[in-house]
Each structure stands twice: as structure tokens, then as C-alpha cells.
Structure 1
Amino acid sequence: MAPRMNRGGNAIGPSGSCQCNKALAQYANRRISADLARRGFLIGMGASMLSAVLPEFGKAQQPGAAAPAQPTTFTNFRLFDGKSGALQDGMYLVVDGNRISQLHRGAPDFSSGAAGAAAGRVIDCGGRVMMPGLIDMHWHALLAALPVATILQSDFSFVYLAAGAEAQRTLLRGFTTVRDVGGPAFALKQAIDAGMLSGPRIYPSGAMITTTGGHGDFRLLTDVPRTSAQISEIERTGAAAIADTADEVRLRVREQFMQGATQIKLVGCGGVSTPRSPLDMLTFTEAQLRAAVETASDWGTYVLVHAYTPESVKRSVGAGVPCIEHGHLMDDRTAEVMAKNGTWLSTQPFTSEEDVAPMAPSSHERFLEVTAGTDNMYKLARKHGLKVAFGTDLIFSQTLATRQGTMLGHIARWYSSADALRMATGINGQLLALAGKRNPYPHKLGVLEEGAYADLLIVAGDPLQDLSLLANPDQNLLMVMKDGRVFKDALKA
């Protein structure tokens, strides 16, 4: 008879007790064969157990990264710091550990040790542009590289393996940080932070919290009606969580925080990819949205809401939501309300069918409706001075995922190249900081200044003049450094 399995995918004995063995070999074997999609706190518990056996586990070197044993001094570069609108010349920058220790004008004085790098590595950038690592505020780490049919039908362990490979590619495209806005990315984040995989910093939201029939409810009709004790497969993977009352919202929000969420994502209206959720539908009531906002505030962080339509955006703003995701169908009055309340607009520059993976006809129609609203949305954002963040929302295609830099180039239709770069670096970093007490990376991101994390790129060419350079990272990104570690160095060549 096959052994009974618990919800974590581990065998349990007749009494229900876990048949754990603390021996390292058995632990590793169990972790490899386990369902990686289960809750992040289980994986965190496993990592803690392994740390007790191997104290150096949490200090593992990231694959392909040069360990910063000594300070590194960069010279002869043109600086885009993520804040100003022009390049600065005649600077030198010192990385010590995982942060920027010095950024000054002039030349470093190695003889006196003033640069702090007399015995460290010195990198001559050859007059090229140095800029902060890019930040994608709307990323789905587990959905980016695989078709939706594969994700829904495969063992979720395969989905995790594909996500790990895509994380490395994401980093080499110059995106050193992402905000994951839906999916069980906790284990992937932990593996990257521990140095087991290379990839960007991840701010995980955990499961998208939606209502019955809302965007993200991919249940089969055979799963309806739902009972209080019933958990669908999509919920079991941690990709979505269904809540239909204010109390259920509070519960689902707390579950995501229990697993390590840095912020919470709720669904406020219909979506493109979910088969039975028209864009104009509304999901949570204002009171239910406010329940999530209050619970997130209790945890010291914030809520973002998926909302395309004026009605869904205004309902979210009325509930105190500080960040609207998408907003493509907003009208002038909606933008005015957002500006009055200081609400962030985190959105994506969808311009054509090249920005989306193949989809069903009904979803395709909805995507065209969203795309048709993009131009008006950005014009309204500029008119009302909204705080605008940049993200891509590229899902269900490994080929499509490579267009992160191309999507950034689309922003030049409404903003200057300098404004677009600020949006994808320093401005996005400001939005990340709303995570407050749940922020796992407390130092500054998206800027190059003393004390900030050492996430930087060396670019062949001037992206302030030509944003399309970032659409070809293989050729134009000569160095990628994240957390003070070099993951790509083509300067030598």
C-alpha cells in the first residue's frame, strides 16, 4: 500500500507523525523529491534544520558570482545614479561587501588608502555608463518561463525548476530586483538569498487573493460549489487564494505573511488570462478591501490591487489601498482621485500583441482592450502627476520574458529616457520601501549612493540617449553586479 502523504508532500506514518531523519543525506533526498510548491514556511523550517547541521549553509556562494573578498573600486565611468536626469563624469565608486561604501568625485588615492581599496580590485570601466540594477515591479517568477497549460498540468516541482533557470536569465538581463505579484515564490526567494541559485532579489506577495470567479480563480467547474473545507488545486499550490468575506480576506492575508510575504496582492476586477472573469466585473467590496489594508498595516506593510477599470480603481483608493496595479482603463476622474490620495500607479506599457503570449480568443479580446487604453493611461498619469512605477507582467513564455528591456523602451513614448530609467530604478526603489517592517532588504535599492546595495550595471553605450540598448543585454550589458557580487563581466574581453 502506498504511504499516506501530508499536505507538504512528505510520507507520514499511521499516527500522522513526520518520519523525519536529521541525517544530511536523508534530508537532501527528501528535499529533492518533495513538492517544492508547498508553503514557504515548511521550506524555511527545512533550511533551519539544515543550518543546524551545516552552519555555513546560509553563507553559500552564488553560482557564477565572484565573491567580494576585498573592496572593489570602479573608475573611469559615466554615472547614472537613478535619481538625476544626466550623466555625471569624474567619479569613482567603492564597493565593500554588499554595499557602496564610497562615491566621490576625483581619483581614488590608493597610496593613502582613502579609497579603501589599496589592496582590492580596481575596475577601469573605459568611459562607459554605470547605472543601478533594474527593478521590475510586476513579475511572476513562477509563471514567466512556461506556457499556462504546462503550469496547470505539470508536477509543480518542474515549475520550480523552470523558475530557477529563468531567475538566472532575469538577473543577466540586468534586473537585479523584482516584486513578485502572485505565486508561491517564497522558496525561490530563499534559495536565491541563501546562494543556492543566482537570481534577482524577490519581494514576494504570495498567492493572489481573489473572490469566487475573480481573476486568478482557475478552478474547474467541477470544483463548484465551494465548501468551507474544500481547497482547490490552484489554492493548494499557493498560486491563488479565494476569499469571499472580510474575515476570509484577513485569514488569507495573514497566511501570506506567515509564509514571508513582503506585501499583499488582491484582485479588484476581472483579468485577461483567467477564462471566466470579464474585465468589467468587480470582486471585493470596499469593506473587504479595507480589511486587507488594515491587516497589512498591522504587519507593517501594504496592499496592492489588480485593477483596470475606473470603478475598481476608485473602490480600492476609497479603501485606503496605496498602490494600484495596471489601471489601463482609468478615466480622468480616476486619475484625479489617485493624485489627490497620493496613490501609486504601478503599470505596464503594453503596446501590441508582441507583448503577450498566445492565448484563447476571449483572453485575446481582453488584452486588446487593455492595450487600447495604454496611451490614455500614461497621458492621464502625466497630466495629474501620478507616482508611476514600471513593471512588465510578462508571463507564460520564455521568449516573451526576454522582452523586459524592450518593455522599458516602450516608456519612451510618454517619458524621456532619463525619466524611464529613473522609473525602473530609483522610483521603483521608493515603492519597494513601502514594505516597511516586512522589507527583507532594508538598505536603498535602485540608486547608486553611499550606503545603498551594490547592484549595478555597466552598459556599452548611453541608455539615456538610447533606451533600446537595454533590450539587448547579451551584447550591451558588460557587467552585472548584484549584492556586491559580479555575475557577468565582459569588460575583460
Structure 2
Amino acid sequence: MSCMKFHSHDHAEHIPPASQGKILFKNCTIFDGINEQLDTGQDVLVEKNLISKIVPTGSTSFDNIDTILDCEGRTLIPGLIDCHWHSVVAALDMASLMNSDMTYIGIVAGCAAKETLLRGFTSCRDLGGATFGLKKATDNGTIEGPRIYPCGAFISQTSGHFDFRPPNYVPSNPGDSLDYLQRNGMMLVCDGVPEILKRTREVLRMGATHIKIAGGGGVASQYDYVDVSEFRLDEVKAAVDCAKAWNTYVCAHVLTDAAIRTCVEAGVKTIEHGNLASRETLELMKEKDPILNDEDAIPFPPGSPQQEKFEYVTNGTIATAKMAKEIGVKMAFGTDILFDKKLADKQGRFLSKMPKCGFTPYEALKMATSTNAEVLKLCNQRDPYPHALGVVQEGAYADLILVDGNPLEDLDLISQPKEKFIAIMKDGKLHKNMFE
């Protein structure tokens, strides 16, 4: 099988950062992202943007080391991965998003990207928004931020979860121009198989690593109800088949049992949320092998329709997560933070709460590292980052966090990045170094 590639300015490959030379993490305890057993007394050598050697401390003499970090037994873990992140809309309130020009939105998103990285999240799967420019700016070093696996625009049906058009925009005419957010790739509204095929292909053309659709009603949306099933089976299958032709996959925002079944039957690979799934549907998900992605709290005005929907949905979250674990459904970790900078600043706290859903600190950390990396890699040939992520292994990307303490014993350390993350490295570059 032969493969041809072409690259435009929007499809540029990842460019490693300017080398900081050889960096040695000396005498560290390693959580490799996979195994619960920690490896003590290890040296980790980073060259360019990769982990080149992991050896017992003192067993090898390294030459020409530019920077030595004496970890004194502290825990070195893989960079964290958020599998349901919104790079553009996490730090903006809804009113600002709806009424600001894209230059302002981009500047806010760029500033927020560095803050995300300094919370220890070195990679994210972005699940909706105009992120292609932000990804390009982080890849080429214009700004600091996590790796981004972008889906581009949310794809929604009319009156679906991602239909953010003004209230009086319907009825629409075939000749109407796209509204501002659609023109700038924040979301796209389409109906029927031909339209969903066109929009899916357009988003893939822009550089999406995967596709995000609305499979059912949601909480933050204005015009739908939680119980609504949205795209029909033939529409979802059209998006799935289109993505499959590009060697990638579709993920779906979906909450209710009926809508989950439609998406799973159509071949959707990851179910985002799934809060109201039944045991029978979870069994089907295990058979089909998608991945359930949890969500957490977003504040809505007291008494608002969104708050009522949120309370209804989240009543099922913990029970569903525990049942999914019991059945053996694969689960990934994601925060799904929207429209609230203060909440975005607490990104790590969402991970530290996983024991409430029945997960041990080890299970939570594995989920947020190597398991989430498996999700990132579902995009196959569309993967812009070819080396391993979410692990501390030779040959993997040097995405590393040095933690003051053992997060497998105290997961709350993850929620204190300013105090407890001594060093944060992404792509072989130290973005935080408290040794200096």
C-alpha cells in the first residue's frame, strides 16, 4: 500500500522546539503511565524532544549534559492528557463568545493555552471550536500550550446541541449566508446525509484529526432538550463512513440511552458523556468497544433551563461510571469545561475527584495518561504527533511532570500544580523549572 502526502500551510507537520540540549532527570521515581508499581532510583535522559534513555541512577555515565535536575526521589509522571477539552471556549463566557470577533477570541485562547500547559496538561483532544490556528501557533512555538488534536467545528443538526445561531435565524432560506460563528469554524449546522457529508469533508479538509457531532440533546444548548435524539442513524453513519475513509473516527456528544444506541450502532468510536446509559447499552458499548468520556460540573444560573437539565443529567454520572467500570467499558478522562475561566483554572481538580466515581488514584492517573493517549491515537494517519504519548518510555515524547510527592498515594497533588509540580516539560522543553 502506498501513501501520498501533500502539505499546505494549514496541514504542516509538527515542528519540534528549538533544542535546550540534553536534559537529565536524575534520581527520580517513575510512574510510567501504565504500571502501578513505581520504579525508584532512575535517571531519565531527554534529547531534543524525546526520552532517549531510562537507566538506574549511577549505572551510566552521561556525557555533555546541558541541564541536570536532581529529583531527590520525587515522582516523574507523564504529562497529563485531557480527552474532552475546549481550547477556545473554556476561558470565555457565553456572551463574549457570541459577541466578540475572532481576533479577540484567539488572543484569549492563546493566553489560556499557556495556563493549561502550566496545569500539567501537555496534550488535549479538542472537542469543538476554531482551534486550527491555535494548534499551528503552539506547534511552531509562537505560543506555549498543549498539543492539540483538533476536531474543528462542532457539527450539529438544526436545533441541535451545537446550533448557536441567533434566536430569529429560522426559518432559513437556502441562499442565506452563514452566520459569523459558522463562517469562522466554531460550529456548523447541517441536515440530511448530503449536508453532513459535505460538512464532515470540509472539516477534515481544514485539518481535523477526528469529527465531533451532536448525537442528542444537551445542557448548555438553547434550543434542544436532553431527551432529544438528534442526527438519525443514516446521518450518523454518513459521518462515520466519511471519517473512516480518511482513516479516522467520529465522536459524539450524547447523553441518553436511545441516542447512545443510535451512535454506537452507526460506528461512533467515542461516546462523550453517556451519563444516562442503561446497563444493556453499556454492554453493547463494551461489545462495540467505544470509550465513555465523563463530564463534570459547569455552573449555570440558578433556576435556568440549563441548570435544570444539568441536575437531571448529572444525577446519573457517578452511578453510570461505576456501572461502566464493573462491566468493563473502556473509559477516558475529560473535563468538558465551558465558558468559565475560574473553572478552567481548576482543571486538575476534576481528575482528583475520580475516586468519587470509584476509581483508585492509580486508575485515574492511568486513565489521564496512557489510556487517554490510546484515544488520541485513534485518528491513525491523521495523527500529527507520531511518537508515543502518555508514557515515560524510551522513544516517547518528552512530556513529563516532576511531582513533589507521590500522586498514586495522594491524588490531590494533581490539583495543586503551582505548588506541587516542580518541573513541567512538553516536547523536550522545560516550561516550568522550580530548580532555577
Into which bin does the TM-score normalised by the smaller protein fall? over 0.9
2:428, 2:130 → 1: CA distance?
27
Picking from 250, 260, 268, the partner of 1:303 is: 250
Match of 1:440 in 2: 384
**In the TM superposition, what is the alpha-carbon distance from 1:69 to its structure 2 partner?**
3.8
SS at structure 2 position matched to 1:107: coil
Quick one: which amino acid aligns to residue 54 of structure 2?
Answer: L
Ranges of 4+ aligned residues in structure 1 off by more than 4 Å: 58-61
Picking from 406, 410, 416, the partner of 1:466 is: 410
SS at structure 2 position matched to 1:470: helix
Match of 1:11 in 2: none
Match of 2:230 in 1: 283
Match of 1:105 in 2: 56
Quick one: which amino acid aligns to residue 231 of structure 2?
Answer: F
**In the TM superposition, what is the alpha-carbon distance from 1:395 to its structure 2 partner?**
1.2
2:403, 2:307 → 1: CA distance?
36
Contact 1:60 1:196 in 2 (8 A): no
Larger C-alpha radius of gyration, 1 or 2? Answer: 1
Match of 1:23 in 2: none
Picking from 163, 184, 192, the partner of 2:109 is: 163
**In the TM superposition, what is the alpha-carbon distance from 1:176 to its structure 2 partner?**
0.2
SS at structure 2 position matched to 1:224: coil
1:326 and 2:293 aligned? no
Give matches, 1:331-342, under 5 Å: 331-342=278-289
Post-superposition Cα deviations, 1:279-320, rounded to whole Å, max 9, x if no partner, equal: 110111111111111110111111101110001111001001
2:241, 2:301 → 1: CA distance?
36
1:313, 1:119 → 2: CA distance?
52
Residue ranges of structure 2 left out of the alignment (5+ in a row): 1-7
Match of 2:9 in 1: 44
Picking from 346, 362, 365, the partner of 2:305 is: 362
Match of 1:384 in 2: 327
1:108, 1:69 → 2: CA distance?
24
Contact 1:125 1:491 in 2 (8 A): no
**In the TM superposition, what is the alpha-carbon distance from 1:104 to its structure 2 partner?**
2.2
**In the TM superposition, what is the alpha-carbon distance from 1:239 to its structure 2 partner?**
1.2
1:264, 1:417 → 2: CA distance?
31
**In the TM superposition, what is the alpha-carbon distance from 1:247 to its structure 2 partner?**
1.2
- In the alignment of these two chains, the number of paired residues is 427
Match of 2:23 in 1: 72
1:91, 1:469 → 2: CA distance?
21
Match of 1:423 in 2: 367
Quick one: which amino acid aligns to residue 358 of structure 1?
Answer: F
Contact 1:99 1:483 in 2 (8 A): yes
Match of 2:123 in 1: 177
Contact 2:32 2:391 in 1 (8 A): yes
Match of 2:148 in 1: 202
Quick one: which amino acid aligns to residue 151 of structure 2?
Answer: S
Post-superposition Cα deviations, 1:241-272, rounded to whole Å, max 9, x if no partner, equal: 11111111111111111111000001000111
2:222, 2:19 → 1: CA distance?
48
**In the TM superposition, what is the alpha-carbon distance from 1:438 to its structure 2 partner?**
0.3
State which drifts further: 292-301 or 226-235.
Answer: 226-235
Quick one: which amino acid aligns to residue 298 of structure 1?
Answer: A
Quick one: which amino acid aligns to residue 320 of structure 2?
Answer: M
State which drifts further: 412-421 or 227-236.
Answer: 227-236
Match of 2:3 in 1: none
1:490 and 2:434 aligned? yes
CA RMSD of superposed structures (Å): 1.9
Match of 1:12 in 2: none
Give matches, 1:151-300, under 5 Å: 151-230=97-176, 231-300=178-247
**In the TM superposition, what is the alpha-carbon distance from 1:365 to its structure 2 partner?**
0.7
**In the TM superposition, what is the alpha-carbon distance from 1:60 to its structure 2 partner?**
9.4
Post-superposition Cα deviations, 1:128-163, rounded to whole Å, max 9, x if no partner, equal: 110000000111111011110011011221111000
State which drifts further: 451-460 or 338-347.
Answer: 338-347
Post-superposition Cα deviations, 1:209-232, rounded to whole Å, max 9, x if no partner, equal: 110000010112321112233212
**In the TM superposition, what is the alpha-carbon distance from 1:120 to its structure 2 partner?**
3.2
Contact 2:27 2:57 in 1 (8 A): no
1:410 and 2:359 aligned? no
Contact 2:257 2:281 in 1 (8 A): yes
1:248, 1:147 → 2: CA distance?
30
Match of 2:66 in 1: 120
TM-score by length of 1: 0.84
**In the TM superposition, what is the alpha-carbon distance from 1:72 to its structure 2 partner?**
1.4
Match of 1:32 in 2: none
**In the TM superposition, what is the alpha-carbon distance from 1:59 to its structure 2 partner?**
6.7
1:304, 1:408 → 2: CA distance?
21
Match of 1:5 in 2: none
2:238, 2:401 → 1: CA distance?
41
SS at structure 2 position matched to 1:479: strand
**In the TM superposition, what is the alpha-carbon distance from 1:106 to its structure 2 partner?**
4.1
1:359, 1:159 → 2: CA distance?
23
Query: CA distance change for structure 1 residues 253 and 127 in 2, over 3 Å: closer, same or farther?
Result: same
Quick one: which amino acid aligns to residue 107 of structure 1?
Answer: G
1:85 and 2:27 aligned? no
**In the TM superposition, what is the alpha-carbon distance from 1:388 to its structure 2 partner?**
0.4
Quick one: which amino acid aligns to residue 141 of structure 2?
Answer: G
SS at structure 2 position matched to 1:364: helix
1:448, 1:119 → 2: CA distance?
20
**In the TM superposition, what is the alpha-carbon distance from 1:108 to its structure 2 partner?**
4.4
1:338, 1:491 → 2: CA distance?
46
Quick one: which amino acid aligns to residue 333 of structure 1?
Answer: E
1:239, 1:428 → 2: CA distance?
24
Quick one: which amino acid aligns to residue 168 of structure 1?
Answer: K
1:260, 1:338 → 2: CA distance?
28
Contact 2:23 2:65 in 1 (8 A): no
Match of 2:314 in 1: 371
1:337, 1:319 → 2: CA distance?
12
2:385, 2:355 → 1: CA distance?
30
2:250, 2:119 → 1: CA distance?
28
Picking from 284, 287, 293, the partner of 1:346 is: 293
2:334, 2:269 → 1: CA distance?
17
**In the TM superposition, what is the alpha-carbon distance from 1:380 to its structure 2 partner?**
1.4
2:16, 2:368 → 1: CA distance?
29
**In the TM superposition, what is the alpha-carbon distance from 1:85 to its structure 2 partner?**
1.0
1:143, 1:464 → 2: CA distance?
31
